[in-house]
Chain A
Amino acid sequence: MSETQILKPLKTWSHLAARRRKPSEYEIVSANLHYNDRDPNSPYELDPDMFMNTWYKKNTFGTSLKHDDWNAFRDPDEVVYRTYNLMQDGQETYVFSLFDQFSQREHDKALDARWAGSLARFYTPARYLFHTVQMASAYVGQVSPASTITNCNYFQMADSLRWLSHTAYRTRELSLQFADKGFGVDERKYWETDPVWQGFRELMEKTLTVWDWGEAIVVLNLVAKPAIEESVLRKLGEAARHNGDTLLGLITDAELIDSARHRRWVGAFVKQALETPGNLEIIRGWIAKWEPLADKAIDAYCALLPDVADAAASAKAATRDFRHSLGL
């Protein structure tokens, strides 16, 4: 052993040291954290052919969306746990100050009863929809091949719980003002049977059963989420403003700040994916396969949304603009 070189301490983790530049806190605590890629035959330290090993071999590492080094992915916002809480605590303080202020001004009292009916139909059932985004993000995160990609999906999962929580909060508040509109009671019925929601329910039930990681991350983030955000956040917010519901407009705006952050990581992800020849066609193929379902969902929801001109056309165009901006 005397001839062997004795390893000296490095300035950072050995896996980051070769690059000779100072890593950020984000890289130190986020990059290359999964260990299930060390043995292609057995992602987990058990029988290589047991159920979950087969699942990951097939759905994570066997996807047709390939890249030599998914671990090179970096979130453009470099969100780490502690900055996430700093950021979102600030955002929640803002939203709850809106709740407080509008409640003191008796905002809900001034709402038109007809608009309240629209809220019961178009807004409060969205808690189910946001929950499907929470679930889908949790799945994409757990099967992502790089921890930096996983983390973006987990923060997105938490943001979906945030949207769901705002919705639940407002549902209860509205139920106090409008006892006859079914707030807090009828949301499941709307979600399961109202034509307005069936497109999104079909889209999300099917999205939730895409197990291949490559297809799942594309369908959720490039097709389903943009459709939801352009309709149920942006167009609903517009409808709210046209009906004197300033509060809902401000809430959806606050939620769209999360969505804008999500789109930044999705943009970086697509850019990385397109480094591999053939991926452009694969991604376009998945979009072509899923876009009709998303369009159908937008149509069903937006067609009946009150007081927004050309809501469906404009929402569909916005989803395409987003994809086009990424070269898709």
Chain B
Amino acid sequence: MAVLNRMDWYDLARTTNWTPSYVTEDELFPPKLSGDFGLPQNAWEKYDEPYKQTYPEYVKVQRDKDAGAYSVKAALERSRIFENADPGWKSVMKAHYGAIARGEYAAASAEARMMRFSKAPGMRNMSTLGCLDEIRHGQMQLYFPHEHVSKDRQMDWAFKAYDTNEWAMIAARHFFDDIMMTRDAISVSIMLTFSFETGFTNMQFLGLAADAAEAGDHTFANLISSIQTDESRHAQIGGPALKVLIENGQKAEAQKRVDIAVWGAWKLFSVLTGPIMDYYTPLEHRKQSFKEFMEEWIVAQFERALTDMGLDLPWYWDIFLKDIAQTHHGMHLGAYYWRPTLWWNPAAGVTPDERAWLEEKYPGWNDTWGQCWDVFIDNVVDGNMAKAYPETLPYVCNMCQLPILGTPGKGWNVKDYPLEYKGRLYHFGSEVDRWVFEQEPERYAGHLSIVDRFLAGMIQPMDLGGALQYMGLAPGEIGDDAHNYAWAEIYRALRAAKKAS
């Protein structure tokens, strides 16, 4: 015998629960931080993480992973991939880094909450490693874009976005703060790791990595697939916690947390990831449509994860399945139209070829979303740019903080789902958003959406200029069409050809 095998000592390293006597168990693990499921420490000692790793294995494997990702970056630093990239692809990177980098860093503290407050010793050790992972993801996703700050002022938002009141960032913070920054240890494990990281980050990172590889951005492709290998370990922290809860008669509480987190994740993805995949990524580099990615990663794989766990599909699953073909088109149209309020330059993504692709992937697109784009395109072709920018704010949902929208055309179905709570009237974009609010109104009731703030006079002057200032967006940062409307030339030519004939 020379060196012991890992499993010879692994269990000892996670046998760390003891009975406190100088403080009470509730003082050591306050229920509001620990998870108020009424389960004592020994119920949690059955927790068994499926992905086992020791400290020495961790530092070795992670050192090697970093060597890989950083050496690809170093090798390609002078390759001018960024300079030569399609402007739509640059926008993908800007949106991704801004909305993700510091959110990942914040997740280190969510992991630290599980580490400190979980009553399951295995979870405490796994979250220690998970916490380190999230420091990694925050730091890499700041270090990599930093290379580009001197080339493009919008890249500053890879850092700055989280400090601002930019509307999409309010939505991102509202979601992440709800599922990971303000929950007890067990809820974090269910909402962040099981509900969000199992399906959604998989899709963002692997889906985007596929598109990045297609687009020739190997640094980015390598970076985010390397990140995903960590996610696939620490995303498994929540599963065994769900098992303990279900075995102890807490299925309903567990299910509720899954349902809340999945819906919020879906809404955030509909505004950030949907437009990226179906409109910004250059057509020739699109691997699959957003809906197809959703069907693969969320519908098929996550459905299986839920049922394997003994949970039900969220009660709103039929609404969700319908929405994955629709919502993000509205989010894109809205985000594009309000493009001065973005820190990236959205690609319109509506050339005739792109429209043909959209029609193929989303039958009926031309009769619905296409009709709105027709009007917009006519204005651009006519040089009527005043009509191509917004003057007012859209109405936003008091839960997801995103515009309340519907699908245009014959089936126009936009609807407000209002709720009066303690004398204040709230507006929601869907039955599900309203349901989330109703589960724990005191978590959300005192929050003001950006429109609430506007109406309260907190944004001055009350026009687009005032709104931009409030959002921290100055000229040089504010978004405009990624391709400077070059795509409109095709429509100009088509119109000229039509006239000539």
A322 interfacial contact with B, CB 8 Å: no
Question: Which B110-135 residues sit within 8 Å CB-CB of chain A?
Answer: 112-113, 115-116, 121, 124-125, 128-129, 131-132, 135
Chain A residue at minimum C-beta to C-beta distance from B162: A35
A28 at the interface (CB under 8 A from B): yes
Which residues of B124-153 are within 8 A (CB) of A?
A: 124-125, 128-129, 131-132, 135-136, 138-140, 142-143, 146, 149-153
Q: B390-449: which residues lie under 8 A (CB-CB) from chain A?
A: 442-447
B65's nearest neighbour on chain A, judged by CB, is A85
> Apart from A11-B149, A13-B159, A150-B109, what are 7 other A-B pairs with CB-CB below 8 Å?
A1-B475, A25-B143, A86-B63, A127-B12, A161-B13, A192-B18, A201-B18
Q: How far is the CB of B464 from chain A (nearest CB, A)?
A: 10
A271 at the interface (CB under 8 A from B): no
Q: Looking at the complex, which one of B21, B23, B115 makes contact with A209 (CB distance below 8 Å)?
A: B23
Contacts of B143 in A (CB 8 A): 25, 28-29
A95-122 contacts to B, CB under 8 A, are 95-96, 99-100, 103-104
CB-contact partner of A201 in B22, B70, B156, under 8 A: B22
Contact A142 B113 (CB under 8 A): yes
Q: Which 7 A-B pairs have the closest CB atoms?
A: A7-B476, A52-B182, A47-B446, A29-B139, A45-B173, A168-B12, A44-B177
Chain A nearest CB from B61 CB (Å) reads 9
Binding site for B on A (CB under 8 A): 1, 4-15, 25, 28-30, 33-36, 38, 42, 44-53, 80-82, 84-86, 88-89, 92-93, 95-96, 99-100, 103-104, 127-128, 131, 134-136, 138-139, 141-142, 147, 150-151, 154, 157-158, 161-162, 164-165, 168-169, 171-173, 184, 187-188, 191-192, 201-202, 205-206, 208-209
Closest to B475 in A: A6
A35 to B146 Cα, complex, angstroms: 19
Q: Which residue of the partner chain, among B3, B102, B109, B138, contacts A142 with CB atoms under 8 Å?
A: B109
- B295 interface residue per 8 A CB criterion: no
Contact A169 B135, CB 8 Å, known A96-B56, A205-B20: no
- Check if B339 is an interface residue, CB within 8 A of chain A: no
Looking at A5, A33, A89, A135, the one whose CB has the most chain B CB atoms below 10 A away is A33
A46 CA to B113 CA, complexed, in Å: 18
A165 to B6, CA, bound (A): 10
> A1-B465, A141-B109, A161-B55 are contacts. A50–B70 as well, Cβ < 8 Å?
no
B contact residues around A142 at 8 Å (CB): 109, 112-113, 116
A29 to B145, CA, bound (A): 11
A45/B475 in contact, CB under 8 A: no
CB pair B3–A92 under 8 Å, yes or no, is: no
Over the window 163-203 of chain B, the binary record of Cβ atoms lying under 8 Å from chain A Cβ atoms (1 yes, 0 no) is 10000001001100110011100000000000000000000
**When the two chains form the complex, which single residue of B20, B124, B138, B465 contacts A29, counting CB atoms closer than 8 Å?**
B138
Among B135, B152, B446, B475, max chain A CB count under 10 A is at B135
Cβ of B54 under 8 Å from chain A: yes
Q: Tell me if B443 and A99 are in contact (CB < 8 A).
A: no
User: A142-B116, A154-B112 known; A202 and B177 CB under 8 Å?
Assistant: no
Interface check B259, CB cutoff 8 A: no
With A6-B475, A28-B146, A151-B135: A205-B28 Cβ-Cβ less than 8 Å:
yes
The reply to whether A209 and B8 contact each other, CB–CB distance below 8 Å, is no
Across the interface, name the chain A residue whose C-beta is closest to B19.
A192
- Given A34-B106, A100-B3, A151-B135, decide whether A205 and B60 contact each other with a Cβ distance below 8 A: no
Q: Closest residue to B66 on the A side, CB-wise?
A: A82
- Provide the residues of chain A in CB contact with B182, threshold 8 Å: 44, 46, 50-53
CB distance from B58 to the nearest CB of A (A): 8
Please, how many angstroms separate the alpha-carbon atoms of A158 and B108 in the complex? Answer: 12
User: B16, B54, B62, B121: which has the most chain A beta carbons within 10 Å?
Assistant: B16
Task: Give the distance in Å from the alpha carbon of A137 to the alpha carbon of B371 in the complex.
Answer: 57
Q: Are B444 and A46 in contact (CB under 8 A)?
A: yes
Which B residues are in CB contact (< 8 Å) with A192? 18-19, 21
Of the candidates B22, B55, B115, the one whose C-beta lies within 8 Å of that of A165 is B55
How far is it, in angstroms, between the C-alpha of A208 and the C-alpha of B124 when the chains are bound? 15
B residues contacting A by CB (< 8 A) are: 1-4, 8-10, 12-13, 15-16, 18-23, 27-28, 32, 54-56, 59-60, 62-63, 66, 70, 102, 105-106, 108-109, 112-113, 115-116, 121, 124-125, 128-129, 131-132, 135-136, 138-140, 142-143, 146, 149-153, 155-156, 159-160, 162-163, 170, 173-174, 177-178, 181-183, 442-447, 465, 474-477
7 contacts between A and B (CB under 8 A): A28-B142, A35-B106, A35-B162, A46-B447, A47-B447, A96-B56, A139-B112
Check B22–A202 contact: CB distance below 8 A. yes
CB neighbours (8 Å) of A136 from chain B are 116
Q: Which residues of the partner chain B approach A9 to less than 8 Å between Cβ atoms?
A: 149-153, 155-156
Would you call B135 and A44 a contact (CB within 8 A)? no
B474 x A4 contact (CB < 8 A)? yes
CB contacts (< 8 Å) of B106 on chain A: these are 33-35
Interfacial chain A residues near B476, Cβ < 8 Å = 5-8
CA distance A8 to B42 in the complex (A): 59
Please give the distance in Å from B414's CB to the nearest CB on chain A: 25
Q: Chain A residues with Cβ under 8 A from B21's Cβ?
A: 192, 201, 205
| A contact residues around B28 at 8 Å (CB) | 205, 208-209
CB neighbours (8 Å) of B443 from chain A are: 46-47, 50
| Min distance, Cβ B386 to any Cβ of chain A, angstroms | 14
By beta carbon, the residue of chain B nearest A26 is: B139
Min CB–CB distance A48 → chain B (angstroms) = 5
**Which of B22, B32, B121, B476 has the largest count of A CB atoms less than 10 A from its CB?**
B22
Interface centre among A12, A127, A169 (most CB of B within 10 A): A169
Residue pair B56, A191 in contact (C-beta under 8 Å): no
Q: How far is the CB of B340 from chain A (nearest CB, A)?
A: 10
| Cross-chain contact A46 with B177 (CB below 8 angstroms) | yes
Decide: A168 and B9 in contact? CB cutoff 8 A.
yes
- The interface residues of chain B lying within 8 Å CB-to-CB of A131 are 16, 121, 124
Which partner residue on chain B sits nearest A1 by CB separation?
B475
Nearest residue (CB) in B for A16 is B159
Contact partners of B155 in chain A: CB under 8 A: 9
Contacting pair B446 A158 (CB below 8 A) = no
B155 and chain A: residue at smallest CB distance: A9
Contact call B131/A154, Cβ cutoff below 8 A: yes
Name the residue of chain B whose CB is nearest to the CB of A151: B135
| Given known contacts A7-B474, A158-B55, A184 and B115 CB-to-CB distance under 8 angstroms | no
Most chain A beta-carbon contacts within 10 A, residue among B12, B116, B159: B12
Known: A13-B146, A142-B116. A127 touches B153 (CB 8 A): no
Query: Do A92 and B105 contact each other (CB < 8 Å), given the known contacts A7-B475, A49-B446?
Result: no
Could you tell me the distance between the alpha carbons of A96 and B124 in the complex, rounded to whole angstroms? 24
Tell me which residues across on chain B come within 8 A of A141, comparing CB atoms. Answer: 109, 112, 131
Is the pair B132, A158 in contact by a Cβ cutoff of 8 Å? yes
Complex interface: chain A residues within 8 A of B475 (CB): 1, 4-7
Query: Which among B1, B128, B444 has the highest number of chain A CB atoms within 10 Å?
Result: B128
Are A164 and B177 closer than 8 Å at their CB atoms?
no
Contact indicator B153/A7 (Cβ below 8 Å): yes
Contact A47 B442 (CB under 8 A): yes
Q: Is the CB of A157 within 8 A of B112?
A: yes
- Is the pair B59, A10 in contact by a Cβ cutoff of 8 Å? no
CA distance A14 to B473 in the complex (A): 13
Q: In the complex, A120 Cα to B443 Cα: how many Å?
A: 49
Q: Which residues of B lie under 8 Å from residue A164 when comparing CB positions? A: 13, 16
